[in-house]
Amino acid sequence: MKIKECIILGTSLLIFNGCFGTTDSDNIKTKGIYADYQLTLSDDGTTYVRASLMSGNKHGATLDLTNGDTLSVEVDGNSEKLERFSLLQNISYSRKIMTNVADTKVTILFTRTTPQQELKSSILLPEKFELLTPKENMITSLNDILHITWSPSSENTNMEIGIETICDTGEVENSTKTFSNNISNLNDNGSYDYLFSSNYKEDLEKYSNCKTSLEVTRFRLGIIDSSFDDGEIKASYSKSINLDIQ
């Protein structure tokens, strides 16, 4: 059994505070595993597949596959083994697949030798979209309604919108303050109106030098094999731009 450690990681780009840890997969029964499968579509015709297995729940120790246990991805009858990746004792398995075509069925297989099991979790890839408005580096103000539109819309997917603003506080050199807002599970109807005034307008008005980024994500959820305790299989496609708030 491997030891779980708590680590605080801080960089200019990322601050993460959490507990990391691993355990060998043959220590955990299948019914005690949480499966986290994330698929990210790219514009280059590929999709990045990342799979993590955790003990107990999504905050549990990640599993290091042992005793013949494997993770693989299957598309159009072709199966490829996922490759192990480790960061700060957090283990995942990943691979790029050579498709990003809408409604392509992707299956992630978790194969166990003791007992012999093959757990299949499947998803259909979402359709890519174009972000129509706003445009890159568009000038807006805190009093404006930000009209976010995309095409095409879809009836069988959902949207997430993330807005992050980083401001120079002017207090000390290189001192910044970050404001972020995430809106989840929106209807994929092609439009959403965002109001800065209903979020963190009063905080932003204290600063003059700010940079804002917008990320719009379409996602679809698939079906996790019922032999797991719980889990999620999610496929996403995102578009990001920068905005100029004056």
Domain final position from 125, 154, 186: 125
Domain final position from 125, 160, 177: 125
Alpha helical stretches, state H, 80-200: none
Give the pLDDT score at 13: 33
The whole-angstrom separation of Cα 191 and Cα 147 is 7
Give the pLDDT score at 99: 97
- Position with higher pLDDT, 174 vs 120: 120
Kindly state whether residues 98 and 56 are assigned to the same domain: yes
Q: pLDDT tens digit string along 146-169?
A: 999 999 999 999 999 999 988 888
Contact between 119 and 109 (Cβ < 8 Å): yes
Residue 52 included in any domain: yes
Give the pLDDT score at 206: 79
The whole-angstrom separation of Cα 24 and Cα 27 is 6
Give the pLDDT score at 33: 97
Contacts of 9 (CB under 8 A, 6+ apart): 15, 16, 17, 88
Mean of per-residue pLDDT scores for the chain: 88
Give the pLDDT score at 88: 80
Q: pLDDT tens digit string along 177-214?
A: 888 899 999 999 999 999 876 776 677 777 777 889 99
Give the pLDDT score at 20: 57
Number of independent structural domains in the chain: 2
Kindly state whether residues 86 and 34 are assigned to the same domain: yes
Contacts of 186 (CB under 8 A, 6+ apart): 158, 159, 160, 161, 192
Kindly state whether residues 120 and 177 are assigned to the same domain: no
Q: pLDDT tens digit string along 55-89?
A: 999 999 999 999 999 999 999 999 999 999 998 87
Give the pLDDT score at 3: 35
The whole-angstrom separation of Cα 164 and Cα 243 is 10
Give the pLDDT score at 2: 43
Kindly state whether residues 27 and 45 are assigned to the same domain: yes
CATH at 63: 2.60.40.10
Q: Which helix (H) or strand (E) holds 204?
A: helix 201-204
Q: Which residues pair with 215 in a beta bridge?
A: 162, 240
For the cut 60, the answer to whether the pLDDT of residue 95 exceeds it is yes
Kindly state whether residues 142 and 82 are assigned to the same domain: no
Kindly state whether residues 144 and 53 are assigned to the same domain: no
Kindly state whether residues 197 and 121 are assigned to the same domain: no
The whole-angstrom separation of Cα 233 and Cα 51 is 9
Give the pLDDT score at 17: 35
Q: pLDDT tens digit string along 5-57?
A: 334 344 333 333 344 589 999 999 999 999 999 999 999 999 999 999 999 99
Give the pLDDT score at 167: 85
Q: Which residues pair with 75 in a beta bridge?
A: 78, 106
Average pLDDT over residues 98-104: 97
Q: Is 189 helix (H, G, I), strand (E, B) or coil?
A: coil
Domain final position from 98, 125, 152: 125
